[in-house]
Structure 1
């Protein structure tokens, strides 16, 4: 396992490490802030980079990937990109989590379940694989390497 992943405290750091590993190739991470999961991202768009740097994950963190404006990834106002990704890559064994922490309606079986769910898209724009929050980063890394 790459040493950059051994004691990494957050998903943000893991995404930076992926950019360090593959950023010189035909690869990039795209970050989208969303407040639909436990209301964990209440900041407004112009505050996002400062929140990342000073609060979560903090300690001077600077993303090495583009971070886009806040979006809704589920429900009536979800961005079409996420509608497309969820339709293209449905869950194999869908499990709905704690509904009290979900802030959208209607709730659908293929909805994104929590922050840091990932979608891998090929260089020609085709959805390739979907990873839940608990997927080991090594699996994502292997799939990226296989595609590149």
Structure 2
């Protein structure tokens, strides 16, 4: 005997608003990542060079990493704002990847990296607890 399926409870306004804000944060973070990447590629003397660091890359390589990641995060943020089905899971994955990148980038811009890590935790939480993906077409 099967029990009837209960409808899922509606998402709380905090969760829905949080997911919408996560989309905006991802869009802004992506644009800033693109700008960071361009700065690292165009003139790799913009950021201070770090001495012996375990995860040391050439600053031009970091520029490309931030540029590509920024484009992907911005496109996913736009997808979240538009209510695309793929955007929520992709947003969670990209937020996790961006958090790892910011952790590795920590010696170059410590304050911004810590802020980005905290925002990444919020984005993952907001996208996980939101019911339906919010749309801005209302």
Same fold per superposition (TM over 0.5): no
User: Whose Rg is larger?
Assistant: 2
TM category (shorter chain) comes to under 0.3
Q: Taking CA–CA contacts closer than 8 Å with sequence separation of 6 or more, which of the two structures ends up with the larger relative contact order?
A: 2
TM-score w.r.t. length of structure 1: 0.23
Q: Give the number of the structure whose residues are more often strand, by fraction.
A: 1
TM-score w.r.t. length of structure 2: 0.24
